[in-house]
A = this chain, B = another copy of it.
Amino acid sequence: MTKAFRFSGFPFPSFVTSIALLLVSPGIAAAQNPLQPSPANQQSFPLLLLQQLSAIKAAALNDDYAYRQLAHLTENIGPRPTGSPQATAAAQYVAGELRKLGLEVHLQEVTVPHWVRGAESAALLEYPGMVPGTTQKIVLTALGGSSGTSADGLTADVVTVDSFEELQALGPDKVAGKIVLFNELYDKQKAAAGLAFPAYGEAVRYRVSGPKAAADLGAVAALVRSVGSADYRLPHTGMSTAAGIPAAAVTAEDADLIVHLAAEGKVRMHLTLTPQKLPDETSYNVIADLKGSEHPEQIVVVSGHLDSWDLGTGAIDDGAGVVIAMETAEILQRLHLRPARTLRVIAWMDEETGGSGSKAYTAEYSADFAHYVGAIESDSGAAHPLGFDVKATPAALDALHPVQSVLQSIGATVLEPTTYPPGADIEAMSNAGVPAFGLTQDGRTYFNYHHSAADTLDKVVPAELRENAAAMAVMAYALTNMKDPLPR
């Protein structure tokens, strides 16, 4: 089953449906689902645990804790770019909220980069058919890590390419001294069909590596067509490999315009970008434990990342992930469900600009990863949850069928085996053999807003956020309280 399959209308293999509801409502489900749970599952998930998982799900679906926290993070605190006062304030706020819940909270110091956006503007100064004495504005935004122009900007001709191959074919003679525009299209139809992440993966290569490739051929600046599906003159930022030249994303509309005009003749652009790389700052990962009653050394991580891009307020990327993880702890405390293993809530710092938060965590804690039972991250938005991408053994997946049953009523039944760590911040854990889970959502509209000024609170549907909170809490409590830890 490939990722494609997830959105195809058949989101899980038939063997999953065969045990649907069976364990949650045995009386009713038995008639509908003739198959019995395996003896192993029955042992791992005794009836009491299944009842607790159902209670957790119901609590999550009837609570707005996560949404209220998200409203505070996004609207009262605001954008939380790595290195900003807001990002650090957010860490302190989340720490305080988790302390209020009774967790043992540790603010782990992280040395983070601090890149700040400056002025950004561009205009076409010369192009076929231009009305003398006028210019045409180009809407763009600097890519993370971009170098700056002078305050007065730079002026150069634009050369457009559709691919790395086309850039190489042009060679330094036609690229040196120019502004290169990479016009790789984000495949909207693929995204609408449920393959948003593969579509993103194809296009984002140019954002990540395009500026460096252009600089290597002598370009004075690089532009990429925004990676995303919105057609609202909206530029999408994101990290780019350091290239030593100014680099920005133009909107889809502006890319179309430039390509159209460049096909007719010479296009000359004035470009001003004045971002700055400031000295590193001290910020924090928030690490908060609800200690396990039986195996406190065995840890289940629930997490999202606190830092956001600066253009919007980081609601879907990834305030939502943080508050979903917070709600797991809130529900367990509210329902007085003490986990048998330790539940660890982590709000990661700096997922977006280099992962200094997860690196710092790994540096301090990797010796304990052998005892970790599972690690979950939510970093794909807040739309209706589909289930989890899972990097784990087939036996581990098999052991989780009862969780699928509990989550079937909200549709979050996918347990998609992956070959890669399903979350940037839990990559090191996953690579160390910890069963790793990425909470996955309906991603069809995610890249409309991702890394743009439109990543704001209104994009989160409260009912869908509650479903996500339910999915994470149910999975997390299953991992803390199933009889044996997941096989590795």
Chain A residues at the B interface, C-beta cutoff of 8 Å: 71-72, 75-79, 84-86, 89, 127-134, 136-137, 139, 230-234, 252-253, 256-257, 260-261, 264, 312-313, 448-449, 452-454, 456-459
Q: Are B84 and A128 in contact (CB under 8 A)?
A: no
Task: Report if A257-B456 is in contact (Cβ < 8 Å); known contacts: A76-B127, A230-B232.
Answer: yes
A313: chain B residues within 8 A (beta carbon): 257
Would you mind naming 12 contact pairs between A and B with Cβ atoms under 8 Å apart? Answer: A76-B127, A78-B130, A78-B136, A85-B132, A86-B134, A230-B232, A231-B458, A232-B448, A232-B449, A233-B312, A253-B457, A256-B458
Residues of B within 8 A of A449 (CB): 232
- A459: contacting residue among B76, B134, B231, B257, CB under 8 A: B231
Partner of A71, one of B136, B230, B260, B453: B260
A253 touches B76 (CB 8 A): no
* A133 close to B85 (CB less than 8 A): yes
Among A72, A75, A252, residue most surrounded by chain B Cβ atoms (within 10 Å):
A75
CA distance A76 to B134 in the complex (A): 11
For A452, the chain B residues whose CB sits under 8 A away are 232-233
In the complex, how many angstroms separate the beta carbon of A227 from the nearest chain B beta carbon? Answer: 15
**How many Å lie between the Cα of A137 and that of B120 in the bound state?**
15
Q: Contacts A79-B136, A261-B76 known; A454 to B85 CB distance under 8 Å?
A: no
Residues of B within 8 A of A457 (CB): 253, 256-257
A133 nearest in chain B by CB position: B85
CB distance from A435 to the nearest CB of B (A): 37
Give A407 Cβ to nearest chain B Cβ, in Å. 29
Contact A76 B130, CB 8 Å, known A253-B458, A457-B256: yes
Q: Once bound together, how far apart are the Cα atoms of A257 and B75, in whole Å? A: 6
A454 surroundings in chain B (CB, below 8 A): 231-234, 253
Distance in Å: Cβ of A169 to nearest Cβ of chain B: 26
Measured CB to CB, the nearest residue on chain B to A130 is B76
Chain B: CB-nearest residue to A252: B458
Q: How far is the CA of A458 from the CA of B231 in the complex (A)?
A: 8
**Chain B: minimal CB distance from A67 (Å):** 12
Chain copies in complex = 2
Closest Cβ–Cβ distance, residue A260 to chain B (whole Å): 5
With A232-B230, A233-B454, A452-B233 in contact, is A260–B75 under 8 Å at CB? yes
Of B75, B84, B127, which contacts A134 at CB under 8 A? B84
User: Given the interface contacts A86-B131, A134-B86, A253-B458, does A453 sit within 8 Å of B78 by beta carbon?
Assistant: no
Contact B131 A233 (CB under 8 A): no
Q: Across the interface, which residues of B come within 8 angstroms of A233, CB to CB? A: 234, 312, 452-454, 456
Judge whether A261 and B75 touch: CB under 8 Å: yes
- For residue A129, which residue of chain B has the nearest CB? B76
A128:B459 contact, CB within 8 angstroms: no
| Distance in angstroms between the alpha carbons of A216 and B230 in the assembled complex | 40
For the complex, what is the distance from the CA of A1 to the CA of B309, rounded to whole Å?
A: 50
Q: What 5 A-B pairs are tightest by C-beta distance, nearest first?
A: A76-B129, A232-B232, A233-B453, A89-B131, A233-B454
CA distance in complex: A257, B233 (Å): 21
Cα distance A189–B448 in the bound complex, in angstroms: 20
* Known contacts A253-B454, A454-B253; A129 and B231 CB within 8 A of each other: no
Most buried by B among A261, A313, A453: A453
Cα of A252 to Cα of B232 in the assembled complex, Å:
14
Q: Which of A84, A129, A449 has the most CB of B within 10 A?
A: A129
- Extra contacts, 8 of them, besides A75-B261, A77-B129 (Cβ < 8 A), are A76-B128, A84-B134, A85-B131, A85-B133, A231-B458, A232-B449, A256-B458, A257-B313
A87 to chain B, nearest CB (A): 9
Task: Return chain B residues, CB-CB under 8 Å to A231.
Answer: 454, 458-459
| A129 partner residues in chain B, CB cutoff 8 A | 72, 75-77
In the bound complex, residues from chain B placing their C-beta under 8 Å from that of A252 are 458
Q: A139 to chain B: which residues have CB within 8 Å?
A: 453
Q: Bound state CA distance, A128 and B71, in angstroms?
A: 12
The docked-state distance in angstroms from the alpha carbon of A260 to that of B130 is: 44
